[in-house]
Amino acid sequence: MRVRGCGTAVVLVAFALLAGHAHAQTTFEAATAAFKDDVHGQAGLTCAGCHATGGSGTYAAPPRTAVAMRCASCHSDAAFMRKFDPQVRVDQLLQYQTSVHGRRMAAGDPRAATCTDCHDAHGVRRVRDPRSPVAPLNVVTTCGRCHGDPVRMAPFGRSAAPPGEWAASVHAAALVARGDTSAPTCVSCHGSHGATPPGVESVANVCAQCHLREAELFRASPKRDIFDAIGQAECLVCHGNHRIASPGDSWVGVEEGAVCEQCHDAASASGAAIVATRRQLDELQTAVSGAAALLTRAEHAGMLVDEGRLALQLAREHQVQSRVLVHAFDAAPFSKAASEGLAAAGQAQDAGEAAMRELRFRRQGLAVATLLILAFLLTLWAKIRRLPAPPA
């Protein structure tokens, strides 16, 4: 292989320019082994593509502050990159320069992350490769190597809690437990090359990438202006940021533990509206779960309740709608959706009750039929016993 023939060098000296200490050297064997599976190696690039040749056949690692520019010499060249992938993006450097990492690096702070920190130096893989450190299932661990390390974060006055908080979130559950690779990770909200914490004014736009309907309702609601006026980051006030829990109906309320209780008290007019909203949510949940339990009982007894299941499905859709409509902070559309959900849940309940009535009818019919059959069997038995003994 050409990489191995790059000279008699036995080590690649990777001098990091971190203040006070140097990165460990990458051995030639380790670098060449990793490079075999590297997207650049597979594309025919060699060591000299990234490394300047040092004296007596050694390759010096580029200074950390120069890594981004070195990568960008190809990755920002649209004409060059098109030869490998006509669809590939070439704006990574521009984005990086706007990021906190890029700005610190440009200021000469080598502790900031650069390309190789996230993508690796010699084993670079495509993002869609599940082994890539920036693949959806790995990217939080990759970010967490620095952002979850209190020692590294302390000099910047940053908390190292976010990766751990994210791991306890509904988003992490979707990604890890359900394997939904579209579930948001660090880069979904902060960006990747242009990684920056979203500001108060832009956080709603970030959430709206996925939660579009909720965002639209909120933007059209009177709450938006109020939150803007008091400088609160819209979605975060109720949902938090990294540890975003699965929302529940109990969030709506003025009792302790409810989300609304942070700002509203039961005695106010808004408190009464919140209580009314919660009551409707609870009624709908009770109706839906009651109908679901009844239909399940009927099904376990062997009854076919397809129409009830359809009605229940409709009720659940209205329930989802009504929960979304909470973000409109307007009683009318919410009540309409909740009422429709209650009506559909009622139909499901009726179907379940009809199935159970039919089941009782069948069992009563069987009891009567069994009695008649038993009576007939007894009669037959008596008749057989009374038959004259057959001649030998």
Partner 1 sequence: MSLRAWLDERLPLSDVIDTLRHKRVPHHRYSVWYYFGGATLFLFLIQVGTGALLLLYYRPSAAEAYESVQFIVSRVPFGWLVRSIHAWAANLMVASAFAHLFSVLFLHAYRRPRELTWISGFALLLLTLAFGFTGYLLPWNEVSFFATRVGTDIAASIPLVGEALVRFLRGGDDVTGATLTRLFGFHVAILPAIATALIALHLLLVQRHGMSVPPSVEAQASADPRAVRSIPFLPHFLLRDLFAWTAVVAVLAALATFYPWELGAKADPFAPAPAGIRPEWYFLWAFETLKHVPPTVAGLNGEFVAVAMMGAGAVGALLLPLLVASARARSVVTWIGAAALLFMGAMTVLALRAGQP
Residues found near partner 1 in the complex (CB under 8 A) = 302-304, 306, 362-363, 365-366, 369-370, 373-374, 376-377, 380-381, 383-384, 387, 390, 392
Nearest distance, CB of residue 354 and partner 1, angstroms: 11
CB of 378 to partner 1, least distance (A): 10
CB nearer partner 1, residue 178 or residue 383 = 383
8-14 long-range contacts, CB within 8 A, separation 24+: 8/56, 8/57, 9/56, 9/57, 9/58, 9/59, 11/58, 12/47, 12/51, 12/58, 12/59, 12/61, 13/54, 13/58, 13/59, 13/60, 13/61, 14/61, 14/121
Q: Which is nearer to partner 1, 73 or 313 (CB)?
A: 313
CA distance 283 to 278: 8
Rounded to an integer, what distance in angstroms lies between the CA atom of residue 68 and that of residue 105?
9
**Given the complex with partner 1, which of 212 and 304 has the nearer CB atom?**
304
- For the sheet containing 52-53, what is the strand order? 26-27, 11-13, 59-60, 52-53
Instruction: Round to whole Å and give the CA distance between 375 and 232.
Output: 80
Which residue, 15 or 361, has its beta carbon nearer to partner 1? 361
Minimum Å gap between C-beta 136 and partner 1 is 24
Query: Quick one: 332 or 384, whose CB is closer to partner 1?
Result: 384
Q: How far is the CB of 346 from partner 1 (least distance, A)?
A: 20
What b/e sequence results for 31-56 when a residue is b if at least 16 CB atoms lie within 10 Å of its CB, and e otherwise? bbebbeebebbeeebebeebbeeeee
Least separation in angstroms between residue 366's CB and partner 1 is 4
User: Minimum distance from CB of 299 to partner 1 (Å)?
Assistant: 9
Query: What DSSP designation does 268 have?
Result: S
| Residue 351 C-beta: closest distance to partner 1, Å | 11
Nearer to partner 1, 15 or 381 (CB): 381
60 DSSP 8-state letter: E
Residue 288 C-beta: closest distance to partner 1, Å: 23
Distance (Å, rounded) from C-alpha 302 to C-alpha 247?
A: 35
What is the smallest separation between the CB atom of 361 and partner 1, expressed in angstroms? Answer: 10
Return the structure tokens found at 338: 């909740």
Q: Determine the residue type at 203.
A: V
Of 33 and 373, which CB lies nearer to partner 1 in the complex structure?
373
* Residue count (the chain): 392
Collect all residues with Cβ–Cβ distance below 8 Å to 278 and sequence separation of at least 6. Answer: 249, 252, 253, 258
Which of 80/381 has CB closer to partner 1?
Answer: 381
Q: Which residues of 292-326 are buried (b: 16+ CB within 10 A; e: fewer)?
A: bebbeebbeeebebeebbebbebbbebbebbbbbb
Between 91 and 306, whose beta carbon lies closer to partner 1?
306
